[in-house]
A and B are shown apart, each in its own frame.
Chain A
Amino acid sequence: MPTRLRRSSRIAELKTLVKRAWRRRIGFRIGVIIVVFAITMAILGPFIAPYPEEGWGIASPETQLRGPQPPSWEHPFGTDLVGRDMLSRVLVGAGYALMQITIVVVVSLVIGLIVGVLAAYSRGLIERILNYFTELFMAFPAIIIAIALNTFGIRGLFVVIISLIITWWSWYARIAYVYARSIREMEYVTLAELAGLPSYKIIYRHILPNTLTPVIVQAITDTGSVLLEAAAINFLGLGLPPDYPDWGVLVQNGFNYIYSYPWISLIPGFFILLVALGFSLLGDNLREELDPKMRHRWKLWF
């Protein structure tokens, strides 16, 4: 249970949490390594790619001549249908993947926190209305919204981002609400209120900082799911156009030729799995560290 702590100590709490998880959990360390690896790839990808232009999706007569080739020393991940080097495409794609999920998670998190904390703070009708809308949006899967937008010919990055935000903000709002609510019910918040502390100060000083840690931990876990959904939207051809170096799009590129050139789909898909796994490992291990019950040593004792 969150207790009365100042904001600085909340950040310190997150820090010690991370430190403890790092020291005690292999899963967490693997997660950190994967995520750091992914971020490095996103930043350096375009520079270390052996064929940068091909990575960005440019096909030339030279690549046309090459055609689809299985993995080799020259092209460790093989080449795609028009002969572009898959390693370069995957490397450049890391940036796209991280960009999409960062925008979605950050925007959703901010909206969700605002709505959730407001709902928890303002009892009565406003609380109900905000909860109503939260639950309403939770019922809409991102992919259905993406399909709806496509039905009317709207495409591109916009579709991926908007459809994911429309569904994900509500999920964060729900979590923020649950935590903020439990803090709101605590004695010291009531006391602060009775003492005449203005609402915005109560929210800013007490409720928000205590809600932040669990919601951020949840956000890290869910980042993996956001990536999976974004990839699914792109794979179905609902988001980024066919020549973009997005991993979902890359899987789509190879999809019609999986019997002949399976590597075109399978290798980028593996990177989606890897990065999603990295975030899940981070979040899950942090969450288990937050829950003292699961920390004890254990064996079946009867």
Chain B
Amino acid sequence: MKRYSVFAIAREALRYHSGWEKAWRSPEPKAQYDAIVVGAGGHGLATAYYLGKNHGITNVAIIEKGWLGGGNTGRNTTIIRSNYLQDSSAAIYEKARSLYETMSQDLNYNVMFSPRGVMMLAQTHHEVRGYLRTAHANALQGIATEFITPQRVKELCPILNIDGPRYPVLGALWQPRGGTGRHDAVAWGYARACSAMGMDIIQNCEVKGVRSENGQVTGVDTTKGFIGTKKLGMVVAGHSGQLAEMAGFRLPIEAVALQALVSEPIKPCMDVVVMANTVHGYMSQSDKGEMVIGGGTDGFNNYTQRGSFHHIEETLRALVETFPIISRLKMLRQWGGIVDMTGDRSPIISKTPLGNCFINCGWGTGGFKAIPGSGWAMAELMAKGEPGPLAEAFNMWRFKEGQFIDESVAAGVAH
């Protein structure tokens, strides 16, 4: 792999940019690997990357039915934060957030991590109490967050209407080192680094079946034939239920659509991320000037990557109330992704009923922020066969034991 640098740019500028190499190879699958990761979204690619980097396992294939980063990783609104309530959540999301701080250097790929600050508005007394509690919990977890006054909210984001007639802003939970990143670049950066370690990223190859013998996976049937493996990691977000069915077990997961949209680009007008959970919408501004907007999930199982229009209307209604200046903005594009919602709104990083098969899913509406931490924890689980401290609480048997990691109250909105 040729490194990207200011010298590389200068060198290529002098030779008509003829020397750039492909960011990753596109090989045909080998017959057998030490480990296969199904799904080349951020979580699958990060899993493969840390398998190589932290555990020295590089005879790895990442199998993707579409194009890499084409799932939720390339469809999300890129909010990164770690101000969760429960200790096990805070640990893995903060691990991820801190890895984002150095990801561009680590991968030699600019992922445009922008710790511009994330603000979660409190617009009811219930929310004020909830966020005060989260701020105290975060203080104990060593995560820098703070409950701020409406005046401070207005200073940080002048376009915000803090005296709305329905839900005036009563304060906010503020995480100054939260922010956004470039979603595609995260997938591309990991893919390039994986390929450089000799891993095979096999796109346009769908896994159709999981073969096992005596409770151990032997390989997967794909549209490019059978591929053998010693270990299998399933990291397919919305399609996790399908993969689990191929392997013969069920998950506490429903697949539903979540949508996002962007406006026409305008001059810089907000340099923080604002989430308004009571009225149900959130917004940030991209470097291109578009307002990036998201709202709630649909309430029914859906695999079409198309959501219901009335949710867009509800989201925009909420945001026009919160940011009156956007009332005449035109919306340019809108799209949907299929998110994997668990019973307690927390992810699953777990062993499965098959000995050498592991699953990472259930990130639902909020897993972009977790990509590096999740990959780190999943790689450890796959390499050692046992979960490390980051993954332990997220096993899929917690539903039987009643050991929920309940974040549904702490995170009232989809993000």
A, B in one complex? no
State the A residues within 8 Å of B (CB): none
